[in-house]
Amino acid sequence: MKLNNNRPELVLITGVSGAVGPCVVGVLCSAGHQVRSFSLDALQGTFPSGVQSLIGDVTEPLAVQSAMHGVDAVVHLAALLHIVNPPPELRKKYERINVGGTATVVEAAGIQAHPGSARCFAEARGAGGAEAG
């Protein structure tokens, strides 16, 4: 993701509590960017000072739109992982978060976009739904 090198960018990262999120936060902070995290859980003390942590659900459009207010870029990592072929009792939850959540983030990015803004989406493995592999 190429961000504007002339000024710090505000980057929203969903799914920061996963395997990749903390590394992305660290790299962006080290590069001088402002970071806003968005996840289901409070992660106080996990990230460098200055990281704005918001609690919310990627499947809730108003919460996602609010989290995106003023951001220059989005890194979408929120997903249920480690489930290649989820059992029937988890499929609805898997599709709600991985498919529905991704759709909500993409839609909110379109709503919140402003001229010259950058948008970057990183899809978590398996985010295509239960049939993906």
Greater model confidence, 22 or 19: 22
Q: What is the pLDDT of residues 60-106, one digit of tens each?
A: 999 999 999 999 889 999 888 766 777 888 888 888 988 899 999 98
Q: Side chain identity at 82, as an amino acid letter? A: H
pLDDT at 5: 59
Residue 45: predicted pLDDT? 65
pTM for the whole thing? 0.80
The band of 121, judged by pLDDT with boundaries at 50, 70 and 90, is low
Alpha-carbon distance 27 to 5, whole Å?
A: 14
Domain definitions of the chain by residue range? 10-112
Name the one residue in this structure whose structure tokens are 């960017």.
Answer: 33
Q: Give the pLDDT band (50/70/90) at residue 110.
A: confident
- 10-112 is a CATH 3.10.450.40 domain: no
| Helix, strand, coil percentages in the chain from 3-state DSSP, rounded to 5 | 30, 15, 55
